[in-house]
A and B are shown apart, each in its own frame.
Chain A
Amino acid sequence: MRAIGVILAGGNNHRMKELTKKRAIAAMPIAGSYRGVDFALSNMTNSHIQKVGVFTQYNAKSLTQHLSSSKWWDFGRKQGGLFVFTPSITPDHSFWSRGTVDAIYQNISFLKDSHEPYVIITSGDGIYKLDYNKILEYHIDKKADITVVCKDFPETENVDRYGVLTMNEESRITDFEEKPIEARSHTVSCGIYVIRRRQLIELVEKCEEEDRHDFVADILVRYRTQKRIYGYKISEYWSNIATVEDYFRTNMDFLKPEVRDYFFNQYPEVYSKVDDLPPAKYNVGSAVQNSLISSGCIVNGAVQDSVVFKKVFIGNNCYIKNSIILNDVYIGDNTHIENCIVESHGTIRANSYYKGEDGIQIVVEKNDRFVL
């Protein structure tokens, strides 16, 4: 492969509310069995990229635990492999990363010590399948300096939380706005970039000199006329999980047969760390409708239109509707949960009642759990 991979997984977003108290967005559980970063990592390995650096910062505990071994994504190699970088204090740098460019700069030796001519940069919070080789070919074909993967959103959808770009007929990006108040187009950046490695080193070093730290504002927007920046449109599924609403909707998308088929059944596969949990168990009284149930679950009650993650216990006579129950949650008997996201490792007492009235309610319950 002619490229190395960089996954920017340091980000946090206040729009995730309580959900990122415990973890970086890239470590958010997705679709019952996965974490956000699994999608970027699987794309890397399926595109035969052998060397990948994951740049972390914000609350990386969950993420580093998830990435404790590289073998699940088939990166356990002598040549290349998976590298997890956390910010560290050095004689000439004692800050946390001040932005995406700074995160790359702090680990610039990772780029300098590689020999592959290109770098694929992606974020850890995109849910998609993509063969990066296609973009690389396009990038070379266009003689581009930077290629930005983008997707057209429906006119009806609000795109003010994305980077929005305008392309000319040659697909060259003429305009790029980050989180515009009033968007001039409905083409959004997916946060996936291809760039020549030496070009990236040069731009990053220049930015640092000028005390600029953000890849989007200080490279894409600033250099849009100077450099040949091209867009590559994808039409396949792509979703970002950086807000509670997006996170909820993305998970619920997996209840649709076409989305499940695309991610679960079609080649290539998405990989994740294997948990070795027993099969899900349904006892008498369980009534599950239109829901995803993950391994290690024990179901005694009713579940409807929901995504239930791993190792969840649902007590007798419970009713769970239109909700997401994250990993290792214990739900006591006679509990009603509707329009909620229940944070992982929670214990919900019997006879509880939660209902998101306008929007999604996030339930964080830390009660003692009595082990039977």
Chain B
Amino acid sequence: MKQEHTGVWTISEIEDGTINPVSYELLAWGKGLAETLKVELTSIVLTNKIKDIESLIHYGADKVYYVENEKLEHFYPDTYTKILHQLVEEMKPEIILASATTKGRTLMPCLAARLRTGLTADCTDFEIEEETRSLIQIRPAIGGNVMAKIKTMTRPQMATVRPKSKQPLPKDETRRGEIIKKEFNEEMYQSRYEWINYKKDESIDQPIQQADVIIAGGKGLRRQENFKYLKEIAERLNGAVGATRAVVDMGWIDYSHQIGLSGKTVSPKLYIAVGISGAVQHIAGMSTSKYIISINKDPEAPIFKVSDLGIVGDATEIVPLLAKEIKQGDKK
């Protein structure tokens, strides 16, 4: 294959000037790939204002290209796609990674369609095929029951990456790199979108896909009120609350908390499943968690097959106590 395209890119995510930690996770993936390919790792930043841009270098980037313009305050797919398209045409990277967030999962298909190149969604692992330098993209398929290895025949090779599928590298403040500003004429920033407002959901402290710990409840919690204990536990562990479709359908908790095939897919460090049977459609959304603890009174519940620690017991008796006594591990 001719090496017209070279280098690995990550698309950083910035919210109102603050770098979203998923951007550092992407750099950890990108670094490994760039080292194997012996090419540079570049991070791309589109933002209205920027703080702490050097941190991208400290977390592994060799270079940062940034575009700063007040019109980039909100994510407008047309503007973002136009600018990235231009940058890609100009610099021709061989790999582009973005996070599988709502932004990444909207922007990347738009960009891939513009570039007429392949895109793989929600990857959880990557390899480089030695002979061809091709990126092998690994992702769960058919509800997490199989894993597929996917290769892209065109360049650039594009993928969205599941948040939490890798830890950021340790921050190294001595690392040096180039930070380069890119400018475009005003026309490039024109958009057909108009942002009106954003209402934060006060019931959640952090996006569930970015939480290190998720405690999820199912019908085995028996009563909606018992979710309050899960909330307390989540607070103590700095985590988020998840749920099965069964309890979402009963109206015990909002759909935004649903984990599974028709809900969200998560990969936290710790997933605690409480009163959840472990239907395939639920497991599809959480089986890539690092550790899984489950509590169920039925010793034959399928959830135990995917658990590292299975507690056979009555959840309604355990959670109130757990809310009081769960430990943060050894924090500081």
A is bound by B: no
Residues of B within 8 A of A (CB): none
Residues of A within 8 A of B (CB): none
